[in-house]
Structure 1
Amino acid sequence: MNTKISWLLTGLLFTILWSSAATATKIALLDAQPLVVAVCRFGIAALLMLFIAHGILRQKLPNRIELKQLAIYGLLNITIYLGIYVIAMKEVTASIGALTIAASPVFISFLSVFVLKKPISVQVLLALLICLFGFVVVAWPLFDGVSVTVKGLILLVSCMFSYSAGTIYFSSKKWDRLHLLTINGWQTLLGGIFLFPIMLITYKSGANHFDKNFWIGTIWLATLVSVGAVWLWLKLIKEDAVKAGLWLFLCPIFGIIIAAILVKDRISWHTFAGVALVLSGLALSQYEKRTETPME
């Protein structure tokens, strides 16, 4: 297949799958508690990835030091980030969830200022403020106590800082000995194990009906998002990291379209204005990265 066509198809498929995560989560949450959905998702995804990594590809098992690193990464990236994210999604729309995921590079740029001790720039601070304002604009007409709550929006924004911390932690460690599928499988498994006791404590049998909605949403998240979309993303950044980042600009648009079609999210001028703001913040963040690269 032509290289350009292959690149376009890979990027388009990644965008659709990555953008579908918020809607799939909302579908799974129709008849189940958030942490039940999360633990089942992580369990299925981890077992699938580890089976492929160790059972089929015969990749090396992590050693004790690597397991410690994977545990920390899983705690930040799975237990805290996705644990809080799935709880927040109970109280916000799929559209807002999709917007937040798409804006993750902005949060990473902002948090790296503190973790990596870089001086804060006007671009990074402005990008974060623009994105936050964009979330509020989209959510404003939905603050009716049902579609969107202040608590849900705060949880959603807060969990992005844990995701950013996990990304920065991952980039600061050496993983040369381990296959990427091994890393993702183990951090998902360990993160899910850390979340399991909390799920048991909060479990309410009457709130969970393992029906069609639960299994469609959960299996979609476990296979096509946790495994499929991540693999496609790694494929894209391996070919061209800068060009790969451009696909993130399509994620808010696809996410809102998918949410409108499948879970009937409302679209208004607030939606378009909020998306424009988030995209502007993301563009400003990407510009900041490009201008800093030659100096590093």
Structure 2
Amino acid sequence: MPVYSMTGYANVVASPPNGEADSSSARPSSISVEMRAVNGRFLDLSMRIPEELRSLEPLVRDLVSAQCRRGKIEVRINTQRESEAAWPQPQTEVLQRLAGLEATVRAALPQAQALSVHEALQWCRTGSQAAGELDGVALGAVKSCLTGLMEARAREGDKLVAILLERVQRLQELATEAEPLIPAVIQRQQQRFLERWNEALTAASAQANVTQQALQERALNEAAAFAIRIDVAEELSRLRAHLDEVKRLLAKGGELGKRLDFLIQELHREANTLGSKSAALELTNVSVEMKVAIEQMREQVQNIE
């Protein structure tokens, strides 16, 4: 499955067939559908649809929701006419029907206002259009635009995957660099312990109340505590396991943004622990480089669905 970015844009313009069109109806000459998508924690769908196509809103919402799981998506549907000044020619039967309906309403509600010329023309325009045919054209344009949006999000997702895999490789290289540094650090510290041991033996000769065995036990305890404190083998193993899981998810595709976000938090935690246990400048530098790469991954993961 592809990896989708939450960022994308698509635009489609469709024209109704003219076979059954009435030139006096001023029906729309084209219908444009525009979709914009940006990142968001949940699916936030907003729509702007003209009144003549308002009945399509639930269906459009269902179509978008079936394809998109997260992100802020804006859907705009507009109608264009050959001439916005071209008004329909009112038919006598339509006007008579409006007059009858107005009389019925005002008989029951004397305070109701009379229909204006503009309102009457709007009713004539609505009644003169083949509503079902127009809805079908608009719905087809919505589907085509949604397909274009998903293709744009997939292309953006491919770029994000390439960036993330590059950062994963960099983190794996840094983990490999960190491993041989640990024995060298331990060896240097052991040398320091030997120096302290010799100093303690020299000082013990002047203190009768301090035995050689007590000094040896103290030195061994200090060495053991230090070895435990600087042991980062477990952190490096977990970091590699998290990186392998990131690669597996990216290869699988689908809806994985939240899972990747969780793994990024775990990677950051391991890098922090590595830095806190660092007993050498080399390990500190590796930890800093890891944090930079992980933060770059976090920025990209925020855009993945």
CA radius of gyration, larger in: 2
Q: More helix by proportion, 1 or 2? A: 1
TM-score band, normalised by the shorter chain?
under 0.3
Q: More strand by proportion, 1 or 2? A: 2
Higher relative contact order, chain-length normalized (CA < 8 Å, sep 6+): 1
Please give the TM-score of this superposition, normalised by the length of structure 1: 0.22
